[in-house]
Structure 1
Amino acid sequence: MTSTTMVLVVVLSIWMIVPVAMADSGFISTTCNKTHNTNCVAVLTANPDSADASTVSDLAGVALDLAVAAASDAGAVINDRSSRYGGTPEGDALRVCSGAYFDAANDLDIDARDSLGSGDYATASRLVSGAGGAADTCKAAFSAAKVSSVMADINQKMKDRCNIARDLIDRLITPNPK
């Protein structure tokens, strides 16, 4: 194959892909703007799975997957940090966080996913909102221990992901609110 032919193949490939990607980000942007969630577009467009979404339900599923991942990631971070803070007030707070995030991961991955899949959007929204409360529980544990949180960044990520998922699921409950 000549270099000119290769360049043409690459250019044509990009030319054919770009409109699709732009349409997907347009759909994401339009949908997220209806939620009034300032992080929605950035979070969803950064996830390659969002490009395959063509309905609000699809986007809600992607957002739920991101919330599940945030809860699972929090569990891994807690395990790592617990080894460094054993026997300290931070370690005690991390134990509280561990329980809260474990419950949140289960609620999201099992119950909220089942509710979303079966069309029980009100229950899915309630479960996602409750799971987002793991961040508040974790933050409160550090406040009660009167120590600086070593989970602030993780807690914020969890709240963001759960809020986006809840807001998109809520769009399924009331698809055309004024």
Structure 2
Amino acid sequence: MHCTVTLMPHAAFAVMAMATSAATTMLLVLVLSTSSTATLPVAMADAGFIATTCNKTHNDKCVAVLTANPDSADASTVSDLAGVALDRAVAAASDAGAVINDRSSRYGGTAEGDALRVCSGAYFDAANDLDIDAHDSLGSGDYATASRLVSGAGGAADRCEGAFAAAKVSSVMADVDQKMKERCSVARDLINLLIPPK
């Protein structure tokens, strides 16, 4: 009887410890699953907002251009998305400049090298128009000017391709020029959504 009495507290303690451990585990699972589902609707809402906004532009590159930039997830207005798209266009112009420098060293003294010099000037102007003037216009609410500047900057790709066509050689910038055109068209189309109807 004495043994039974001394064993009972140990058994009771073991049962209580198991119950406490199970309760802690259940609480931890509950907290983790709640925090996971709490973040899920936000991510879904961001994707939904981007898709809905892009549908209004009728630009089939819009979603891909925006979702390639993590900053899009923080956007809550069309103006925010237009700013992200403009940043992507600025990056495309800057990347083009780096590519032109690299490829110029390989094509020095050739017709391709001459065309690359035309591309260099076109992209230099485009980068300035986008990074300075278009940003300023978008920030001040002058959406018509911002749209015009972005459209003009996108024309750098056409001027670059035109230089290769005039030299009667294959373009060594086709991939870069295509990316520039896509990014500028997305930025322009999003900015156009901000222009009040007349």
Gaps of 5+ in 1: none
Match of residue 137 from structure 2: 115
- Are 1:21 and 2:43 counterparts? yes
Q: Distance in 2 between matches of 1:147 and 1:95?
A: 14
Match of residue 42 from structure 1: 64
Which residue of 144, 163, 181 corresponds with 1:141?
Answer: 163
Q: Distance in 2 between matches of 1:19 and 1:30?
A: 16
Match of residue 132 from structure 1: 154
Measure how far apart 1:53 and its partner are. 0.5
Secondary structure of 1:148's aligned partner: coil
Which residue of 85, 90, 93 corresponds with 1:63?
Answer: 85
Secondary structure of 1:34's aligned partner: helix
Measure how far apart 1:18 and its partner are. 2.0
Which residue of 69, 78, 82 corresponds with 2:104?
Answer: 82
Match of residue 184 from structure 2: 162
Q: Distance in 2 between matches of 1:16 and 1:78?
A: 46
Q: Distance in 2 between matches of 1:123 and 1:142?
A: 30
Q: Percent identity?
A: 82
Aligned structure 1 segments of 4 or more residues deviating by more than 3 angstroms: 2-14
CA RMSD of aligned residues (A): 1.8
Q: How many residues align?
A: 174
Letter in 2 for 1:97: C
Letter in 1 for 2:93: A
Q: Distance in 1 between matches of 2:33 and 2:81?
A: 30
Which residue of 125, 146, 170 corresponds with 1:103?
Answer: 125
Closer/same/farther in 2, CA of residues 99 and 19 from structure 1, 3 Å limit: same
Provide TM-score, normalisation by structure 2: 0.83
Secondary structure of 1:125's aligned partner: helix
Which residue of 6, 11, 32 corresponds with 2:54?
Answer: 32
* Pair member with larger Rg: 2
Closer/same/farther in 2, CA of residues 95 and 10 from structure 1, 3 Å limit: farther
Q: Distance in 1 between matches of 2:119 and 2:26?
A: 58
Gaps of 5+ in 2: 1-23
Measure how far apart 1:7 and its partner are. 7.0
Secondary structure of 2:169's aligned partner: coil
CA displacement 1:64-97 (0-9 Å, x = unmatched): 0000000000000101111111111111100000
Measure how far apart 1:46 and its partner are. 2.0
Which residue of 175, 181, 195 corresponds with 1:153?
Answer: 175
Secondary structure of 1:16's aligned partner: helix
Provide TM-score, normalisation by structure 1: 0.91
